[in-house]
Chains A and B, each alone.
Chain A
Amino acid sequence: MNASITALNPAHAPYVLRIADGSLILAQRLSECCGHGPALEPDIALTNVALDLLGQARLLLSHAGALEGAGRDEDALAYWRDASQFRNPTLCELPNGDFAQTCLRTFFYVAWQAQLWTALSASKDAALAAIAEKSSKETRYHCEHLAGWVVRLGDGTANSTERLQRALNYLLPYTNELFVDDDTDLAAAAAGIGPLPSSLNDAWTAQVQAVLAEATLKLPATTPFRSSGRRGQHSEAMDYVLAEMQSVARAHPGAQW
């Protein structure tokens, strides 16, 4: 039964694709930091996170392609879709900004992934559950590492505190989107494929607020703002991310290493 869900259920491909695209686009953003970290060691650490996210994206894209059943593999999905066909939350595509913003954005997303993987481990889609199981170990470390930076910078010097507070004020509204349910989510939840985004909200908020409190940051007022990347309506930053990520593959279609 699990196998049949895995092989033939195009209805849930968009649900998996959203998760895949989040990992892929954040991996691409973090890859931009390679060689630009504040010191050698944190540079390697952040690049490791980027590689883990890319690994998740490959598994998830391949799986989404298999569910879709239209013959698209991970490369076709990564390199030959345009911005409006990507389904990552807007949070993942925003510019890296300074190191404070890079760390806080990544922390927000990996903390969300941590809740997601836990819920997905009970998925009726056995392949998806296996990917979640594998990814959860990586994500546990990412959360610990990035939360460490958030606390150090937030509770650091006057300069680092100010930068992190600025990053928080900028980024927090973009996290609203992570917890909005739509028809794709409702169908996946009803079929036991994965959780409703709204069901992840409480645990994520508790985890994030504990870290922000330790970082001595002030929570900005909540806003009704909702970004719409998960619906394919992206910020202007998205085209730049894709141009860099896709240019080589598109200039040399089918090229092999």
Chain B
Amino acid sequence: MSNSKEWPLWEVFLRSRAGLDHKHCGSLHAADGPMALQLARDVYTRRQEGVSIWVVRADHIHASDPTDKAALFDPMADKIYRHPTFYELPDEVDHM
């Protein structure tokens, strides 16, 4: 393999227990999906970290550009009426 092309990069997501969400835990190189799943099992679940694995090719993920952070997220900061905590609830409404 040494002089051939590099294996593509895969992002690995683990569900640690039934009922929880899959969480991103790292990445690895593998030739294809089935190999990525097997290697994720060996690299990331050796200490019982997971009960389910997703792998996604890193180049299939569309990610926001960190330099767009101000344009994307800052406008939310002064619109506190979008947060449920902005409103006073009547006493009859418990447990919001």
Spell out A's residues near B (CB within 8 Å).
Answer: 38-42, 44-45, 48, 141, 144-145, 148, 152, 157
User: Which of these, A38, A44, A157, contacts B42 with CB under 8 Å?
Assistant: A44
- B residues 9-55 near A (Cβ < 8 Å) are 28-31, 34-35, 38-39, 41-43, 46
Spell out B's residues near A (CB within 8 Å).
Answer: 1-2, 4, 7, 28-31, 34-35, 38-39, 41-43, 46
Docked CA distance A144–B42 (Å): 13
Known: A48-B42, A48-B46. A41 touches B29 (CB 8 A): yes
**Contact (Cβ within 8 A) B31 A45:** no
**Contact (Cβ within 8 A) B1 A38:** yes
Report the minimum CB–CB distance from A37 to chain B (whole Å).
Answer: 10
User: Chain B: interface secondary structure?
Assistant: mixed
**Contact (Cβ within 8 A) B38 A45:** yes
**Contact (Cβ within 8 A) B46 A39:** no
**Contact (Cβ within 8 A) B39 A41:** yes
User: Nearest A residue to B28 by beta-carbon distance?
Assistant: A41
Docked CA distance A152–B32 (Å): 11
24 contacts between A and B (CB under 8 A): A39-B1, A39-B7, A39-B29, A40-B29, A41-B28, A41-B29, A41-B30, A41-B39, A41-B42, A42-B39, A44-B39, A44-B42, A44-B43, A45-B39, A45-B43, A48-B42, A48-B46, A141-B41, A144-B38, A145-B38, A148-B35, A148-B38, A152-B31, A152-B35
Report the minimum CB–CB distance from A173 to chain B (whole Å).
Answer: 28
Report the minimum CB–CB distance from A86 to chain B (whole Å).
Answer: 29
Docked CA distance A187–B50 (Å): 44
Which residues does chain B contribute within 8 Å of A145, judged by CB atoms? 38
Interface centre among B4, B31, B35 (most CB of A within 10 A): B35
User: Nearest A residue to B35 by beta-carbon distance?
Assistant: A148
Which residues does chain A contribute within 8 Å of B2, judged by CB atoms? 38
Report the minimum CB–CB distance from B9 to chain A (whole Å).
Answer: 11
Known: A41-B39, A41-B43. A148 touches B28 (CB 8 A): no
**Contact (Cβ within 8 A) A148 B34:** yes
Docked CA distance A193–B82 (Å): 70
Which residues does chain B contribute within 8 Å of A42, judged by CB atoms? 39
Which residues does chain A contribute within 8 Å of B38, judged by CB atoms? 45, 144-145, 148
Which residues does chain A contribute within 8 Å of B43, judged by CB atoms? 41, 44-45
Report the minimum CB–CB distance from A137 to chain B (whole Å).
Answer: 13
**Contact (Cβ within 8 A) B42 A45:** yes
Which residues does chain B contribute within 8 Å of A44, judged by CB atoms? 39, 42-43
Which residues does chain A contribute within 8 Å of B35, judged by CB atoms? 148, 152
Docked CA distance A40–B43 (Å): 9
Which residues does chain A contribute within 8 Å of B29, judged by CB atoms? 39-41
User: Nearest B residue to A48 by beta-carbon distance?
Assistant: B42
Docked CA distance A75–B42 (Å): 28
Q: Given A145-B38, A148-B35, 9 more contacts at CB 8 Å?
A: A38-B1, A39-B7, A40-B28, A41-B29, A41-B30, A45-B42, A148-B34, A148-B38, A152-B35
User: Nearest A residue to B40 by beta-carbon distance?
Assistant: A41
Which residues does chain B contribute within 8 Å of A45, judged by CB atoms? 38-39, 42-43
Docked CA distance A40–B29 (Å): 9
User: Nearest B residue to A45 by beta-carbon distance?
Assistant: B42
